[in-house]
Amino acid sequence: MSIIIGIDPWSTTIWYAIIEKERHSIKLIDFWVISTTPKIELAYKLLEIGSDMEKLIEKYTPQKIAIERLFFTNNIKTAIDVAQCRGVIMYECIKHNLQIKEYTPLQVKKAITGNGKANKKQMQQAIKMIMKLDAIPTPDDSADALCLAYIWSLERDGNIL
């Protein structure tokens, strides 16, 4: 059995999903959002994110984390803030001896829908069907985190099955 956390990071909000894989069975354990205090400096947001990640890791004792790889954005300040956020998340994961796997949005879309250009709604519908959920996970971006965790659960020897 392994517990996998999927993380879709932004600079002020982190969406996560936690799944359990046992042999050929995959079960959704939890999904939600880590939000930071509004209107505080980034350094304090990073401290909050690190603390919340540590609590999440201690609560669920995962072995693996799948995190979205940063992709270029037109807003360089946002990209830098997200990169710092990812750094804090990765630090907490390494500190707790988790295996880390990064996926680009293109890799996630292709693995979940077979189409690297799938839109958000297509992704949400696909993961809802794959995981046999009654509804799309909300907040909506938590579906992205679920997709990240799910595709790592499919990997064997570094290749998605």
What are the start-end ranges of the H helices in 20-141? 42-60, 76-95, 105-113, 120-130
Name the residue among 66, 53, 74, 140 with its Cα closest to residue 102.
66
Q: Which of 8, 52, 81, 144 is catalytic?
A: 8
Q: Which of 81, 92, 141, 144 is catalytic?
A: 141
Name the residue among 61, 64, 51 with its Cα closest to residue 7.
64
30 is catalytic: no
Q: For residues 60 and 56, give the distance between their C-alpha atoms in angstroms, rounded to a whole number.
A: 6
Q: Which of 68, 81, 92, 144 is catalytic?
A: 68
| Amino acid identity at 125 | Q
Q: How many residues does the chain have?
A: 161
81 is catalytic: no
22 is catalytic: no
DSSP for residue 36? P
Q: Which residues are catalytic?
A: 8, 68, 141
